[in-house]
């Protein structure tokens, strides 16, 4: 057995762990069927078996020379188990629930499916990018409380998001963001929750990545220790530098909580050389303004989004614990080590959930896809909306995209959207909890969506 000199796998197989000889790499449940795909092995035919969950006997659906299958004629809102076999080689038994979804399913993971238990049980951290060669790439990681949280899956679409296929996996990789720089694909991520900050590059469209470089050491965040916290935010380019947001701290550390930071690098420098990156000194939340005086010092200031204000200031707009508001810091673009400075508290329609803000290069209007707040329940994430602002001060709702306010907010969630402008359309990837999710937070889907002619949509 040789050592490892890459970041990517096809797929990742934990050492001395039984994962099956055939790897089921993508699952898409429907109301009356389950579609799933697997990686080929040197066999000409595959047999597919399934059963209703908890029944004693598997039934042979049939055989196929393909590496995908649709088990049809199933019952809605019902769990099924299934596996693939070929000449004595067998996959893990996987699990899926027939039921409704939204958008186009990139991937699905049943909350009781243990296929990725070495990392987690739920799909998180949507990241979306269009490659210069025209195809789309989507990534998501596997998380659950008390688990290692260190695997990311990557998928590809060659038809604008209508269909998706498996590409590769990164290990360790958590909270990752795919981005492009000078036509090349990069991943910026953590090794695990509050772990090391890593960056790596792919020259073949995400099929393989070089061994990652550590940019900043973390601690894992256990026992009150502090480390790197980030989210899949868009890399921001300004005055010849690229910028990205992160935080320093952990939920269990009451001194730092989550102190806001920004990292940056000259766009002409090698992104894989840690010495080329600068990090601002962590900025702890404080009562900067009388309007903040009644908030605890461990108020939530996480998952900041970088954007340029109309007057040319680089701002870090942060998810904040005061409902329907965002806390705004200003970045010192002259001193790249200087801490962020408090700017103002901005009224913003998002609930307590990550968001991205982007200025449309065509209209000059700021857009965001937000889990919109609609009542006093700060946790509710069952309403997803497109919002816009002409001045980065006043925000208006353009339209509601996914509205499940009539469903139990404990089990439905549409959140952590990553989006791109795509000609006349806006496309996004969503962390989606629906159809028997463990909770609104612990999502079982990663779904792709397209808002056609978004600029011409009238205000709601």
Please tell me the predicted confidence (pLDDT) of residue 342: 97
Please tell me the predicted confidence (pLDDT) of residue 134: 95
Please tell me the predicted confidence (pLDDT) of residue 376: 87
3-class DSSP state of 15: coil
Q: For residue 12, what are the CA distances in angstroms to 9, 106, 287, 319, 390?
A: 5, 19, 46, 33, 45
Nearest in space to 279 (alpha carbons), one of 338, 237, 361: 338
Q: How far apart are CA 454 and CA 460, in angstroms?
A: 13
* Under 8 Å between Cβ of 136 and 127: no
Specify the CATH number for 8-97; select among 3.40.710.10, 1.10.275.10, 2.60.40.10, 2.50.20.10. 2.60.40.10
Nearest in space to 183 (alpha carbons), one of 207, 205, 209: 205
Nearest in space to 384 (alpha carbons), one of 375, 372, 399: 372
CA 56 to chain CA centroid, nearest Å: 37
Q: How far apart are CA 36 and CA 71, in angstroms?
A: 9
Q: What is the DSSP letter of 234?
A: P
* Under 8 Å between Cβ of 324 and 339: no
CA 297 to chain CA centroid, nearest Å: 28
Cis peptide before 11 (omega within 30 of 0): yes
* Under 8 Å between Cβ of 120 and 151: yes
**Per-domain residue ranges for the chain?**
8-97
**Dmax over Cα atoms in the chain, in whole Å?**
71
CA angle 437, 439, 443 (to 5 degrees): 55
Q: How far apart are CA 308 and CA 313, in angstroms?
A: 6
Q: Give the CA dihedral 73, 79, 84, 85, nearest 10 degrees.
A: -100
Query: Which portions of the chain are predicted below pLDDT 70?
Result: 459-460
State residue 186 phi and psi, 5-degree precision.
-125, 160
Q: How far apart are CA 344 and CA 305, in angstroms?
A: 15
Q: Which residues contact 159 (CB under 8 A, 6 or more apart)?
A: none
Q: Which residues contact 168 (CB under 8 A, 6 or more apart)?
A: 8, 9, 10, 11, 154, 206, 207, 208, 209
Please tell me the predicted confidence (pLDDT) of residue 149: 95
Please tell me the predicted confidence (pLDDT) of residue 377: 87
Please tell me the predicted confidence (pLDDT) of residue 246: 97
Report the side by side order of strands in the sheet with 174-181: 174-181, 184-190, 197-202, 213-216
Please tell me the predicted confidence (pLDDT) of residue 460: 62
Nearest in space to 317 (alpha carbons), one of 283, 279, 344: 344
């Amino acid at each position: 057995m040789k050592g490892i000199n890459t970041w990517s796998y096809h797929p990742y197989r934990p050492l001395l762990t039984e994962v099956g000889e055939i790897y089921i790499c993508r699952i898409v449940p429907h109301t009356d069927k389950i579609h799933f795909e697997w990686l080929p092995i040197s066999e000409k035919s595959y047999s597919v078996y399934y059963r209703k969950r908890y029944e004693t006997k598997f039934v042979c659906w049939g055989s196929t020379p393909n590496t995908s299958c649709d088990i049809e004629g199933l019952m809605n809102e019902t769990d099924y188990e299934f596996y693939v076999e070929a000449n004595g080689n067998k996959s893990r038994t996987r699990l899926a629930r027939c039921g409704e979804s939204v958008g186009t399913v990139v991937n699905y993971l049943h909350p009781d499916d243990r296929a990725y238990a070495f990392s987690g049980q739920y799909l998180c951290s949507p990241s979306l990018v269009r490659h210069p060669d025209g195809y789309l790439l989507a990534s998501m990681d596997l998380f659950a409380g008390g688990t290692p949280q260190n695997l990311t899956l990557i998928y590809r679409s060659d038809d604008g998001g209508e269909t998706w296929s498996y590409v590769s996996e990164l290990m360790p990789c958590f909270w990752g963001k795919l981005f492009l720089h000078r036509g090349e694909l990069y991943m910026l991520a953590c090794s695990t929750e509050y772990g090391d900050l890593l960056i790596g590059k792919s020259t073949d469209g995400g099929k393989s990545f070089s061994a990652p470089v550590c940019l900043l050491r973390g601690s894992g965040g256990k026992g009150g220790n502090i480390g790197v916290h980030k989210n899949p935010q868009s890399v921001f380019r300004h005055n010849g530098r690229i910028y990205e947001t992160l935080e320093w701290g952990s939920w269990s550390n009451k001194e730092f909580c989550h102190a806001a930071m920004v990292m940056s690098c000259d766009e002409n420098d090698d992104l894989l050389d840690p010495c080329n990156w600068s990090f601002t000194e962590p900025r702890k939340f404080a009562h900067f303004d009388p309007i903040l005086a009644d908030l605890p010092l461990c108020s939530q200031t996480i998952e900041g989004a970088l954007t340029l204000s109309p007057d040319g200031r680089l701002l870090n707009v942060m998810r904040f614990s005061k409902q329907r508001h965002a806390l705004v810091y200003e970045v010192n673009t002259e001193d790249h080590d200087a801490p962020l400075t408090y700017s103002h508290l901005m009224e913003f329609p998002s609930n307590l959930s990550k968001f991205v803000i982007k200025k449309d290069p065509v209209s000059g209007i700021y857009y965001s896809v937000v889990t919109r707040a609609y009542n006093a329940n700060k946790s509710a994430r069952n309403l997803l909306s497109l919002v816009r602002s002409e001045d980065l001060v006043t925000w208006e709702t353009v339209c509601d995209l996914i509205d499940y306010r009539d469903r139990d907010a404990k089990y439905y969630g549409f959140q952590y959207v990553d989006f791109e402008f795509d000609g006349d359309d806006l496309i996004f990837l969503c962390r989606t909890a629906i159809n028997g999710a463990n909770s609104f937070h612990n999502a079982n889907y990663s779904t792709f969506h397209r808002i056609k002619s978004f600029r011409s949509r009238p205000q709601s």
